[in-house]
Structure 1
Amino acid sequence: MTTPPEKSLYERMGGYDAIAAATDELLRRLTSDPDIGVYWRGHSTDSMKRDRQLIVDFLCEAIGGPVIYRGRDMKTSHEGLRISERDWEIFMGHIVGTLEHFEVPKQEKQEFLDCAASLKGDIVEEG
Structure 2
Amino acid sequence: MNETTTIQKLSLYERLGKREGITSLVDDIVEAHMNNPVVKPRFEPYRNQADNLKLIKAHTVDFFCAGTGGLEQYTGRDMLAAHKGMNISEEEFIAVLDDILQVLDQHGIDADSRKDVLAIAYSLKDNIIRV
Per the normalisation by structure 2, the TM-score is 0.88
Query: Structure 1 residue 87 and structure 2 residue 70: aligned?
Result: no
Number of residue equivalences: 121
| In 1: Cα distance, 2:111 partner to 2:45 partner | 36
What is the deviation of 1:38?
A: 1.3
Query: Structure 1 residue 113 and structure 2 residue 111: aligned?
Result: no
Partner residue of 2:24?
Answer: 21
Query: Structure 1 residue 97 and structure 2 residue 106: aligned?
Result: no
| In 2: Cα distance, 1:34 partner to 1:89 partner | 13
What is the deviation of 1:114?
A: 0.5
What is the deviation of 1:41?
A: 3.7
Partner residue of 1:67?
Answer: 72
Would you identify which runs of 4 or more consecutive aligned residues in structure 1 move more than 4 Å? none
Task: Give the gaps of 5 or more residues in structure 1.
Answer: 1-5
Task: Give the gaps of 5 or more residues in structure 2.
Answer: 1-8
The percent identity for this pair of structures is 29
Partner residue of 1:34?
Answer: 37
| In 2: Cα distance, 1:58 partner to 1:88 partner | 17
Give CA deviations for 1:12-40 in whole Å, capped at 9, x if unaligned.
22101000000000000001222211112
Give CA deviations for 1:37-88 in whole Å, capped at 9, x if unaligned.
1112433111001000000000000111110000000000001111000101
Structure that is richer in helix per residue: 2
